[in-house]
Amino acid sequence: MSRLIARGPILQTFVHAVFPPECLSCRTRVASDVCGPCWRDTAFITGDVCDACGVPMHDDVQSGDRCDDCMSIARPWFQGRAALLYKDRGRALVLALKHSDRHDIVRPVGLWLARAVKDILRDDMLVAPVPLHWTRMVRRRYNQSSLIGQAMAREVGASFSADLLMRTRATVSLDGKSREERFAELQGAIVVNPKRVGEMMGRSILLVDDVMTSGATLAACAEACLTSQASEVCVVTLARVAKDD
């Protein structure tokens, strides 16, 4: 599996040489990954952002400022970024990657994530995905966070550990749950893989997930890393759920 993923860019180059590329969102023929109309309908995050979650911020923003959510909720990680907002075309791309076997999205997403994290990268940073429980992995056949995390790590030249973290139990879906219920459900559900503790100790960790809503999953992962003596934890997500302005 890892060999196939590693050859992904080569395979995509070959496919594009035979078949004209399609827009990742609407599937029309394009010269690049996303057509003009879909690009305009995809809420890429640019400009000033919350230093903890990457959500856009406005008005007089200073370096290190945090949004209201990240001011009121304890974040065990140090900094966070996101590539786009979870709405419109962005939401459709995330769901296609998560549920529709759209592995053609992985390579461009890796580029988007690499741009999003460029100001929070550390030397010798270890990239790791938010884990799936093995029962969900069997049903889905792949971990979308691992795929995009590996693509991003390749772009920035960082080390990648697909199995750094483990889920000790199959948590229920967090969709529709309150913030408090989400955090309660993830309590103690994620640990560091005993085989990877030595690899992680004393290093900065960059956690990768597809979507951040309340931050409960990322918090559980960050706490597990810090408990096992990571020096610090940062996070990046493909998309961030944000309150409407």
Task: Please list the rounded mean pLDDT of every run of 10 residues in the chain (245 residues).
Answer: 43 44 63 62 90 91 91 95 93 87 87 96 97 88 95 97 94 79 87 95 97 95 96 97 74
Query: What is the pTM (predicted TM-score) of this model?
Result: 0.85
* Calpha distance 209→131 (Å, rounded): 9
CB atoms within 10 A of CB 144: 27
Give CA–CA dist 208/89, Å, rounded. 20
Q: Which amino acid is at 184?
A: A
Give the model's pLDDT for residue 32.
55
